[in-house]
Amino acid sequence: MLRQDFASDNTHGAAPEALDALVAANAGAVDSYGEDGYCARAADLIRGLLDADAEVRFVASGTAANAISLAALCRPFERVLAHAEAHVAVAETGAPNAFGHGLTIRGLPGASARIDSEALKAVLAEPEHAHAQPPAALSLTQATEYGAVYGLDHLRRLTAAAKAKGLGVHMDGARLANAIAAGFDPKAIPGLGVDLLVVGGTKAGMTPTEALVIFDKALARRFDARLKNAGQLPSKSRFYAAPWIGMLESGAYQRHAAHANAMARKLAAECGLKALHPVESNGLFAELSPERHKRLTDAGWLAFRCDDGSVRFMCAWATTEAVVEELAAAIRATA
């Protein structure tokens, strides 16, 4: 019997603040396709979070948001530079390539899925020729696939190098709330030269919704047509926007993320496992043998083994201290 799923932070339901906002938005009739007051209000709240004059759209999934963003920054004969283990590189089933009609992704190294700045510079210094796709965009993930949070200086080095070579910059913020709760200032993002930002809602405790933020206004031209073509311009857009109103106006967006981060730190402190990556957001990536992992799974606790061999325990907005203590005891019992 399943005791608790720690394989992902998107298995819990939606937070009450998000659900209450959905119920409130359900009343009456409003304009469709993003022309309603709920979308306008949610967009204003996101602009306030980022302190930026930007266009905001709401879509159903992070995969769609990332793929559409990268397609907007690259032509089919060009390429995206991303960490070798970034979600866009290994876990989106070729969606960026499909939406970009042939764009490819080149993986770069870096500890804990943070791109090494010297490795990026080396790739950008390579000569271009007609037989290989040249880089046109840099994709960053905050927080990373291994739960690390980029420091601002690190991000500045990466984006400055990319901009110096004329690349566009995309940021996958599926867990941006957790990075913010860890101390990252979202108001710094516009000054980094990020062109397109995906702000994650689903993993932050909302119903399925992601906010796509367009800082480069030139990219906004015909963007709604791009979304419609991709099946990501919902007619009842208020139901994608409303959860953001509930979460941002109440402060639940940051509050629930801070709780998830705290649960990951608690688990790391109590389970007795060696962390293979820094516990900076809401995940513990730990050393656990296949035999112990199987015993834990057989006992009803689900956790995902990553490509680097670490076992991932993701904490969510609704993870409780009692469940973390029970899991920590179960892990210790597998020794």
Domain count, the chain: 2
Task: Write the pLDDT tens digit of every residue in 95-119.
Answer: 999 999 999 999 999 999 999 999 9
Task: Look up residue 56 and give its DSSP letter.
Answer: E
**Domain containing residue 25: CATH number:** 3.40.640.10
Both 289 and 314 in a single domain? yes
Domain that holds residue 21: 16-250
- For residues 28 and 78, state if they share a domain: yes
Show the tokens assigned to 184.
């990252």
| Residues 229 and 108 occupy one common structural domain | yes
The values of phi and psi at residue 45, to 5°, are -65, -40
For residues 48 and 110, membership in a common domain is answered with: yes
Q: Are residues 289 and 223 in the same domain?
A: no
Question: What confidence tens digit (pLDDT) does each residue in 62-101 have?
Answer: 999 999 999 999 999 999 999 999 999 999 999 999 999 9
What lies within 8 Å, CB to CB, of 34 at 6+ separation is 57, 58, 224, 233, 237, 241
Look at residue 5 in the predicted model and tell me its pLDDT: 80
Residue where a domain stops, chosen among 250, 266, 282: 250
Residue 294 CA to residue 39 CA, distance in Å, equals: 46
Which CATH number characterizes residue 322's domain? 3.90.1150.10
Please calculate the CA angle 172-176-178 and round it to the nearest 5 degrees: 140
| 205 plus 283 within the same structural domain | no
pTM of the model: 0.96
Six-digit token string for 109: 């190294």
Residue at a domain's end among 250, 266, 291: 250
pLDDT at 3 over 70: no
Rounded to whole angstroms, what are the CA distances from 10 to 44, 94, 202, 284? 26, 21, 7, 15
Query: Same domain for 175 and 245?
Result: yes
At residue 206, the pLDDT reads 98
Q: Look at residue 1 in the predicted model and tell me its pLDDT.
A: 47
Q: What is the pLDDT of residues 214-264, one digit of tens each?
A: 999 999 999 999 999 999 999 999 999 999 999 999 999 999 999 999 999
Contact assessment for residue 303 and residue 294, using Cβ atoms and an 8 Å cutoff: no
Note whether 203 and 257 are same-domain residues: no
Is the same domain home to 267 and 236?
A: no
- Amino acid identity of residue 83, one-letter, is H
Instruction: State residue 295's pLDDT score.
Output: 96
Q: Does the pLDDT at position 274 exceed 70? A: yes
Q: 38 with 109, same domain? A: yes
DSSP 34: T
On whether both 263 and 299 belong to a single domain, the answer is: yes
With CA atoms as reference, report the closest residue to 89 among 45, 17, 140, 39. Answer: 140
Final residue belonging to a domain, choices 192, 215, 250? 250
pLDDT tens-digit readout, 125-179: 999 999 999 999 999 999 999 999 999 999 999 999 999 999 999 999 999 999 9
- If asked whether residues 127 and 242 sit together in one domain, one would say yes
State pLDDT tens for residues 251-267.
999 999 999 999 999 99
